[in-house]
Amino acid sequence: MTTREQSQHRVNERLIAGATVLGFDRLEEARRGEESMRRIMLTALAAMALMFSFTTSANADTFTQTINQHNVTVSSFIPIGCGGPTLTYTATGNSVQHITVNGAGDSWFTATFEGTGTLTTGGHTYTGHLMDWFGQEDNNKNGVIHATFNFVGDGLTVHGAFDTTTNANGTVTADHFNVSCR
């Protein structure tokens, strides 16, 4: 496998990881109204993977795409909670995904969700405002995935952040994950 193919493989893995972080892997278990969100995200991820397979020429044009979605419901979890082992949430709001890939195969992907809903941790459920952001950047020298999560609710404020950076050999050079609860 060439270095470019390895890089594209890492990008595809990170896109899937990003969709998982945002909770799109659990949409099959969600209510019927969320099925359209699942189909849209899977279609977008499949289109991105297909697009990556065609970005092999250094002379290729830059590709960019933005998808806006309104009144979508997302359910997900974060593996560190406030007073419990996990934090789960379900929220309805707006989502924006954006991807850019240049002729060299360098890529940037972001996904943002903002809405209102419920968050459960440590046996307690809170209602409030939620923001979830995921980003992934990759080139032939390094790659990074990172995310932030914020919730402000009735009796609980949560901030979570993670980032992982890899070099061209795929070696992880930075890896951070933290959650603060007030």
DSSP 41: H
Please name which of 60, 65, 142, 136 lies closest in space to residue 104, comparing C-alpha atoms: 60
77 vs 15, 20, 136, CA distance in Å? Answer: 17, 9, 19
Q: What is the pLDDT of residue 94?
A: 97
Q: How far is CA 161 from CA 129, 147, 178, in A?
A: 17, 6, 6
Q: Report the chain's mean pLDDT, rounded to a whole number.
A: 77
pLDDT-derived band at 46 (thresholds 50, 70, 90) equals: low
What confidence score (pLDDT) does residue 80 get?
77
Report whether pLDDT(16) > 60: no
pLDDT reported for residue 127: 97
Write the pLDDT tens digit of every residue in 83-136: 888 889 999 999 999 999 998 889 999 999 999 999 999 899 999 999 999 999
**Claim: this prediction has a pTM higher than 0.85:** no
Angle at 173 between CA 103 and CA 48, to 5 degrees: 35
The pLDDT-based confidence of 11 (bands split at 50, 70, 90) is very low
How many CA atoms lie within 13 Å of 105's alpha carbon, on the beta-carbon side?
25
Average pLDDT over residues 52-66: 66
* Predicted pLDDT at 44: 54
